[in-house]
Amino acid sequence: MRRFIENHRDRIYDVVVIGGGITGASVAYDAASRGLKVALLEKNDFSGATSAATSKLIHGGLRYLANMEFSLVRESLKERKILEDIAPNFVYPFPMLMTHYKSSLKNSKWFVKAGLTLYDILSYDRGSTWDESKKIPLHKTVSTRKALQMQPCLKEQGLSGASVFYDCMSIFPERLTLAFIKSAMAFGADVANYVKVDGFIIDRSGRVAGVSATDLLNDTRCEVRGNITINCGGPWADIILGMAKKGEVNEMLRRSEGIHIITGKKINEGSVVASMTPKGRHFFLIPWRGHTLIGTTDKEYVGSPDDYRVTKGSIVELIDEVNSTFGAGFVRFEEVRHTYGGLRPLVEEQTEGTYESSRKYEIYDNASDGLHGLITVEGGKYTTSRNLAQKVMDLVREKTEMPMGQAITDRRYLHGCEIRDINAFVDSIKRKYSGFGESTLEYLGRHYGTEYHKVLELAEKDREYAEVVSTDGEILAEVLFAVRHEMARRLSDIVLRRTGIATLGNPGEEIMGKVAAIAARELGWSSEKTAEEYRSTMDLLRIPGSGETPGESDSSGLSR
């Protein structure tokens, strides 16, 4: 992967995509796979905002049935199966234990059973997966005793049983998004992170003809011209549109905050716990990498998305909601090892609260605003992004005369995901590379897919990079691979979005120092730049309101 912007000349593209989250990545992939010349620009890092702030689930949206959004649920369930197929190393069926307490009619076993029966019907094609191991069974109802056996963490008082159904887990959404980016590049798309769009090019006829932008890494300005520009800015979409409208901001976009916390409190690995608060809001306890991931919140955010940060208040509110269901002290603030959050773009204004708002999306042809050549995408959810991209490009086909092929993204493996049987694939890696630990080979096979061997080759060439740096077997070679081959340009890119080194929280100054040293060598950082990257990444990993985190740097930016 190379940042095209550093050698960009005067090429005119068919499509210019603004935004490198899952929506922009999907649009770039769909467009490039139809034979179009594509450029994608992301102002920070790929999947650095909303796309990274997920519950790591690929799901049909069971709760949307209560809003009678049958078409959205059906679309989501269809896309769930497609993602199982095209990204078999990232997306896995996983049992969800939905608890039933007597506090709410919506939480009763009979009410939920009716919903799950409809859920099963709407996912009628769940068994036709490319990989036999990905098939999803029908739901079932279990007794209180069985529910407590499955998850002893449950509060027994008031528990009337549980339902077990399946959705899918996405083991690393940021790398899944990167797989869409790589797939676009495999079809010839030009891609760059850390390029901020700061204006639109308007030609003599008044048509949007591309964007003006700044390469934030080199502090240089450029123009990227294209026949169609597609605004996939997520929570920033209205602000980006405002540049074209001379500062007028699109009023249709609302923003909802969603945060997650990760704790050392373990639940049984065998299922996700899905439960409902006394106020009727769902949350999940998700076993993840030997820890428990808890989320999410859904609270309206007012203000600039650039100013958004997770606060101690938001963390406490989430903990209080969980404890209101499972009992006081079930989760304590002191147990939080990591937290992350993001803003969801919403398009619906009819509901009073963001929790009730739809996760539907809208595709706006901005020609209706006098901005011919510009399309804006707003709203949506991670699971349906591939299909959203297909609809965007179908609109492009309708409104232009550009020759393009049919959509093929539902019929092809993503780049690096060309795996027919994931379990057999991982087993074959373990047989071939017996010199590495099984946990390392398991991790690399699932997170890097068919590119796993490139990481191992770096470790075989220099055993310094074979050092294990996490409990699930990650090695320092992944750091080198991230910089050389995956466009990682900041320390936070490496430890939060290319690898999982810091996705469970601060790994400690020794490991962070080694990662920073490798990045500095590869990227030519000065000692001052290295210290700055170290400090800023440690700041990201600090739990809001908890003071300094273990392993935090001193003023030099490296070890104390």
Kindly report the backbone phi and psi dihedral angles of residue 465, in degrees, each rounded to the nearest multiple of 5, phi listed first: -85, 5
Across 299-314, average pLDDT: 94
pLDDT grade, residue 546 (50/70/90)? confident
d(CA 517, CA 526): 11
Q: Is 525 exposed, middle or buried (0-12, 13-18, 19+ CB in 10 A)?
A: middle
- The model's pLDDT over 115-161, given as tens digits with 9 standing for 90+, comes to 999 999 999 999 999 999 999 999 999 999 999 999 999 999 989 99
Q: What is the pLDDT of residue 247?
A: 56
Residue 401 has pLDDT above 90, yes or no: no
Q: What is the pLDDT of residue 551?
A: 39
Domains along the sequence of the chain with CATH: 10-50+174-253+359-399 (3.50.50.60), 92-168+256-340 (3.30.9.10), 422-541 (1.10.8.870)
In angstroms and rounded to an integer, the radius of gyration of the C-alpha atoms of the chain is 23
pLDDT grade, residue 556 (50/70/90)? very low
Across 415-434, average pLDDT: 97
The HSE-up count of residue 162 (CA atoms within 13 Å, CB side) is 26
The pTM of this model reads 0.94
211-218: list long-range contacts, CB under 8 Å, 24+ apart: 211/16, 211/18, 211/41, 213/5, 213/41, 215/5, 215/6, 216/43, 217/3, 217/489, 218/6
Q: What is the DSSP string of 137-151?
A: PPPEEE-HHHHHHH-
- Higher-confidence residue of 167 and 251: namely 167
- The model's pLDDT over 161-215, given as tens digits with 9 standing for 90+, comes to 999 999 999 999 999 999 999 999 999 999 999 999 999 999 999 999 999 999 9
Across 483-497, average pLDDT: 98
